[in-house]
Chain A
Amino acid sequence: MEQTLNQIFNLVTDPYTGIAAWKERLQKKVVGCMPMHLPEELVHAAGLQPVVLWRSNEPVTLGHAHVYTFNCGLTRSVVDDAVKGKLAVLDGIITYDLCLQARELPFIINRNAPPAYLETVYIPGPVTAPVYKDFLLENFRNLKASLEKFSGQTMTQDALRQSIALYNRQRGLLRQLYALRRQTPGLIRAKEMLAIVQSGMLMPKEEHIPLLENLIAELPKRTVSSGKKARVVLSGCMCQTPRFDLLDLIEEEGMAVIDDEIYVGGRYFFHDVAETGDPLEALAERYLNRTIPCPTKVDWTNHWGDYLVDWVGQQKAQGVVTLLVKFCPPHLCYYPDVKKRLANANIPEVMLEVEHEVVSLEQVRTRLQAFVEEIR
């Protein structure tokens, strides 16, 4: 098990080397996908290997000549990696209109470091009217045709169904791991859980599944300290993995993370894709019918704050730790409403900013310790 976890941490701390290694071995073209809403299954079914774009572990330098310093860590980091040549491991990149900052990305990348394949998709925001399904399907069909052209391989319905089944299987295993953590808080550390989820975004699912099966078999054998911890859930953190030192601080200050609804976490595997009917429609339906509210693509009938209030109640959590990516306009836009709804429901909440750069951890520690003193 320790070997599996080491493998996982090596991959998430240095995706460049890790991806290059399996790419060499599998001889597959690799396509980087913007996080959150792109259907990786489509890329996989075209005979390509999708990975989810990541935030690097080094300061942004050259990238700041091409992107504002007040962009989020992910977009700045992707541009920085692109202009430094670090994304050469990717044969292609797919972006979409995730937010205003993400909309700039294809232009910057195309001008400065174009990969062999660069595609942009449009994914509608409001999801309640039928016209949005037509629009989304049209975009998925275009993406399918574009991927087929790049891979030189026709995507059959069966191939897409198999990819969907594979991805559903991986999502199901991640759910099992999360259930283990809910049953025994502290069994899996917060940073381990997120590294496990992120590693699945950076390697073929076919190879990630055996790692998950190993962890599900082995992790319950761990001994967990019986000290009383405050039960908290993590919320927010769109698109990127929070800094691990921040997650460590949460636990060091006497909290046990029992669940999360962050992107590199519970959001990634929350919804399965139906394995019946037309597979392309099934991918569209998964997006359109999602129940976990997202500030990047908003359904006005489904309030994030209300969802959180219900979810926190189900989890019997004592508080919410909001991870807010610095300079993430969608999250910043919805955060005041979410905070208000949590406060109205008497749910304690503390917000930590997730930054790409080094943060003053001791000040964060004071806030976390004070939060624990407040909720105990």
Chain B
Amino acid sequence: MPEIYAGIDVGSLCTKVVILDAGRNVLSSHILRSGGHYQGAAEAAFSGALESAGLRIKEISFLVSTGYGRARVTFSDTHVTEITCHARGAKHLFPHVHTVIDIGGQDSKVIYVNDEGRPKNFVMNDKCAAGTGRFLEVMAGALEVSLQEMAELSFHAQGESEVSNMCTVFAESEVISLLAQGTEKADIAAAIFRSIARRITGLVGKLGLKEPVVMTGGVAKNPGMVRALEEKLRTTLLIPPEPQIMGAYGAALIAAEQSD
């Protein structure tokens, strides 16, 4: 029976699953909202990925869980942090990568990858959700637009509004205040992305920017955020085809290595 490997990334907002064949090719992937029950989300996402690949659970040779709820995945063989997994996934797709910026639902991380492809240093955001996917969702809610619409809006910004508060609650008040002043939504959207870009640039500064830089995590799917970050960091970000599953992809790659 050919070896099949799986990675499950139980994030604070979404749970992602990737299934690989022996040649490290992606057989299937699945993404769903984690909700408040990590174990249930992991089971549902895993079932979804298995079904897409036409596989049964007993055909999985090795399963690695990662992400915020990694320890809640009782059916995994081992669990590894998302820091190592994102680095591993990014390294596989971009062999020369030195910096990985992962902006997920609740955490943002900057990971330095050495020449051998091992994560050698990392920084994470402090306890709060500022500068994360959750922050963007709250801001989109305040603007009453979808995340995609917020990104499109930001490309039409004319003015130079600023959102200075990095606390999600205060920043939301600031956005509402700007709306009350009659500031264009496009300008506010651009300001929100710039404010996150400033914060991530601060994290990058702690490690020092070493190119090439890969951006992973669900927030990398937002072109408004990517542009703001590229402008602030003055670099081009390499984005995987599906950045949100990079943690699960890295976990599956580690599963393959562990099984070797």
Question: A348–B124 Cα gap in the complex (Å)?
Answer: 16
Smallest CB separation, A370 vs chain B (Å): 4
The answer to whether A359 touches B82 (Cβ under 8 A) is no
Contacts of B146 in A (CB 8 A): none
The answer to whether B121 touches A374 (Cβ under 8 A) is yes
Instruction: List B residues 53-108 near A (Cβ within 8 Å).
Output: 68, 80-84, 107
Instruction: List A residues 345-372 near B (Cβ within 8 Å).
Output: 348, 353, 359-360, 362-363, 366-367, 369-370
Smallest CB separation, B116 vs chain A (Å): 12
The answer to whether B127 touches A366 (Cβ under 8 A) is no
Question: A366–B107 Cα gap in the complex (Å)?
Answer: 10
Instruction: List B residues 97-141 near A (Cβ within 8 Å).
Output: 107, 118-122, 124, 126-127
Question: A251–B119 Cα gap in the complex (Å)?
Answer: 21
Question: A374–B83 Cα gap in the complex (Å)?
Answer: 10
Contacts of A360 in B (CB 8 A): 127
The answer to whether B119 touches A367 (Cβ under 8 A) is no
List 19 extra interface pairs beyond A366-B82, A366-B83, A370-B122, CB under 8 A: A348-B121, A353-B126, A360-B127, A366-B68, A366-B81, A366-B107, A369-B80, A369-B81, A370-B84, A370-B119, A373-B80, A373-B81, A373-B83, A373-B84, A373-B119, A374-B84, A374-B118, A374-B119, A374-B120
Closest chain B residue to A339, Cβ basis: B206
Question: A370–B127 Cα gap in the complex (Å)?
Answer: 16
SS of A interface (majority): helix
Count B-side interface residues using an 8 Å CB cutoff. Answer: 15
Which of A343, A359, A363 lies in contact with B124, CB distance below 8 A?
A363
Residues of B within 8 A of A (CB): 68, 80-84, 107, 118-122, 124, 126-127
The answer to whether B81 touches A362 (Cβ under 8 A) is no
The answer to whether B84 touches A362 (Cβ under 8 A) is no
Smallest CB separation, B89 vs chain A (Å): 15
Smallest CB separation, A43 vs chain B (Å): 39
Question: A366–B70 Cα gap in the complex (Å)?
Answer: 10
Question: A362–B11 Cα gap in the complex (Å)?
Answer: 12
Contacts of A343 in B (CB 8 A): 121
Closest chain A residue to B122, Cβ basis: A370
Contacts of B126 in A (CB 8 A): 353
Question: A226–B220 Cα gap in the complex (Å)?
Answer: 43
Smallest CB separation, B33 vs chain A (Å): 19
Question: A366–B125 Cα gap in the complex (Å)?
Answer: 12
Knowing A366-B83, A373-B80, A373-B83, say if A359 contacts B127 (CB, 8 Å). yes
Question: A353–B124 Cα gap in the complex (Å)?
Answer: 12
Knowing A373-B83, A373-B84, say if A367 contacts B121 (CB, 8 Å). no
Contacts of B82 in A (CB 8 A): 366
Smallest CB separation, A371 vs chain B (Å): 8
Contacts of B121 in A (CB 8 A): 343, 348, 374
Contacts of A366 in B (CB 8 A): 68, 81-83, 107, 124
Smallest CB separation, B40 vs chain A (Å): 18
Which of A363, A373, A374 lies in contact with B127, CB distance below 8 A?
A363
Question: A353–B107 Cα gap in the complex (Å)?
Answer: 17
Question: A360–B126 Cα gap in the complex (Å)?
Answer: 10
| 9 nearest A-B pairs in the assembled complex, by CB-CB distance | A370-B83, A370-B81, A369-B81, A360-B127, A373-B84, A366-B81, A367-B124, A374-B119, A373-B81
Which of A353, A362, A366 has the most CB atoms of chain B within a 10 A radius of its CB?
Answer: A366
Question: A362–B10 Cα gap in the complex (Å)?
Answer: 13
Closest chain A residue to B67, Cβ basis: A366
Closest chain B residue to A353, Cβ basis: B126
Closest chain A residue to B80, Cβ basis: A373
Question: A359–B126 Cα gap in the complex (Å)?
Answer: 10
Smallest CB separation, B71 vs chain A (Å): 8
Contacts of A367 in B (CB 8 A): 122, 124
Q: List 11 A-B contacts (CB under 8 A).
A: A348-B121, A366-B82, A369-B80, A369-B81, A370-B84, A370-B119, A370-B122, A373-B83, A374-B119, A374-B120, A374-B121
Contacts of A359 in B (CB 8 A): 127
Closest chain A residue to B106, Cβ basis: A363
Which of A359, A360, A367 has the most CB atoms of chain B within a 10 A radius of its CB?
Answer: A367
Smallest CB separation, A335 vs chain B (Å): 11
Question: A108–B254 Cα gap in the complex (Å)?
Answer: 56
Contacts of B124 in A (CB 8 A): 363, 366-367
Question: A90–B23 Cα gap in the complex (Å)?
Answer: 70
Question: A292–B210 Cα gap in the complex (Å)?
Answer: 35
The answer to whether A363 touches B107 (Cβ under 8 A) is yes
Closest chain A residue to B127, Cβ basis: A360
Question: A362–B79 Cα gap in the complex (Å)?
Answer: 14
Question: A373–B122 Cα gap in the complex (Å)?
Answer: 12
Contacts of B120 in A (CB 8 A): 374
Contacts of B84 in A (CB 8 A): 370, 373-374
Smallest CB separation, B118 vs chain A (Å): 8
Smallest CB separation, A73 vs chain B (Å): 15
Question: A367–B118 Cα gap in the complex (Å)?
Answer: 16
Question: A343–B107 Cα gap in the complex (Å)?
Answer: 24
Question: A343–B83 Cα gap in the complex (Å)?
Answer: 19
Could you mark each residue 121-162 of chain A with 1 if its beta carbon is under 8 Å from any beta carbon of chain B, else 0?
A: 000000000000000000000000000000000000000000
